[in-house]
Amino acid sequence: MRIKDAINMVRWKFKEKLEDYEVIIIDRKSADGMSSIPFSSIEQVDNNYLYLASGDVIPIHRVIMIRRKSDNSTIWSR
């Protein structure tokens, strides 16, 4: 499954529970090299980018994992 498809699956299949899901990305500025983005802040996704409500644009190749916070399970991983 492609990253875009996995993100869209969560966005539409679990849209009532988006606050329970997060995208983990590579972040060179953070101390541990990763950052999490809550699904509720994702406005759009295409083949190349994630578009966030804050106006930030994240390249899709930086996504390394989709995780459910309630049980810490991995939905999708690179």
Nearest alpha-carbon partner for 44 in 74, 78, 4: 4
Per-residue pLDDT at 10 exceeds 90: yes
- Collect all residues with Cβ–Cβ distance below 8 Å to 68 and sequence separation of at least 6: 20, 21, 75
Instruction: Name the amino acid, one letter, at 25.
Output: I
Give the mean pLDDT of 10-18: 91
The H-assigned helical ranges of 1-78 are: 3-13
What are 26-66's pLDDT values in tens digits?
999 999 999 999 999 999 999 999 999 999 999 999 999 99
For the chain, the structural domain boundaries read 3-70
Fold (topology level) of 3-70: SH3 type barrels. (2.30.30)
Q: What pLDDT sits at residue 65? A: 97
Interatomic CA distance for residues 74 and 66, integer angstroms? 6
C-alpha dist (Å) from residue 16 to 25, 29, 67? 23, 32, 16
